[in-house]
């Protein structure tokens, strides 16, 4: 009797495991587009024209350079003017 119960238990366990294996998690939801193909192509062209989309696949977006360079002494004086008691030890 024990062998039959053991085999039946293993069969039920295997069936339950295989039933769970085919269920995708998270459940798949179908994608429904709200834009037409022409709308997407127009957005793509606009993004390429204004530079917000790079043309080559391996390029990083270009960030505009900062204005003028500031020396270390100028930065230190700006910090001193901002909060003199914190940085001067007063």
Give the count of beta carbons closer than 10 Å to the beta carbon of residue 1: 5
Residue 19 has pLDDT above 60, yes or no: no
Mean pLDDT confidence for 17-41? 79
pLDDT at 61: 63
d(CA 88, CA 54): 47
Chain segment 53-62, per-residue pLDDT in tens: 765 666 666 6
Run of H or E including 77: helix 72-82
pLDDT at 17: 64
Chain segment 34-44, per-residue pLDDT in tens: 999 999 999 98
DSSP 40: H
Q: pTM for this one?
A: 0.32
């Amino acid at each position: 009797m024990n062998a039959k119960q053991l085999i039946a238990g293993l069969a039920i366990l295997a069936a339950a495991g295989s039933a769970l294996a085919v269920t995708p998690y998270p459940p798949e939801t179908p994608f429904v587009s709200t834009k037409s193909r022409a709308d997407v192509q127009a957005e793509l062209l606009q993004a390429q024209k204004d530079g917000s989309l790079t043309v080559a696949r391996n390029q990083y977006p270009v960030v505009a350079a900062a204005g003028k360079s500031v020396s270390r002494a100028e930065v230190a004086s700006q910090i001193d003017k901002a909060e003199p008691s914190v940085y001067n030890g007063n």
